[in-house]
Amino acid sequence: MKRLSPQIEKDIIRTASERPTYGYGRVWDLFRNNGTKLYRKIVRRALKERNLALLYAKHNGRIKSRNLLHLAVPG
């Protein structure tokens, strides 16, 4: 496995620390837009190792459209 350069790793950590509401996808977008080619998983792993990864929001109350077609009819 190819190791990430220490300078890029520091830049990822610095960027994530400056923008605590950014997830790994947005941090990866910043680097991509600046011309640095990285894989998303590398950014995700770097943030996860330092506990900078955001918790994802679970959407527990959603109704799936397929469930609307098969409504239970009492009878």
pLDDT by residue (tens digit) across 3-18? 788 999 999 999 999 9
Residue 40 phi/psi, 5-degree rounding, is: -60, -35
Please check whether residue 10 lies inside any domain of the structure.
yes
How does pLDDT run across 15-31, given as a tens digit for each residue? 999 998 899 999 999 99
Please check whether residue 21 lies inside any domain of the structure.
yes
Number of domains making up the chain: 1
Q: Give the number of other CB atoms < 10 A from CB of residue 43.
A: 27
Please check whether residue 67 lies inside any domain of the structure.
no
Residue 12 contacts residue 46 (beta carbons within 8 Å): yes
pTM as predicted: 0.67
> Of 55 and 13, which is predicted with more confidence?
13
| Sign of the alpha-carbon torsion through 13, 16, 20, 23 | negative
**8 CB contacts (<8 Å, ≥6 apart)?**
31, 36, 38
Instruction: Identify the residue whose tokens are 């459209």.
Output: 65
Residue 25 structural domain:
6-49
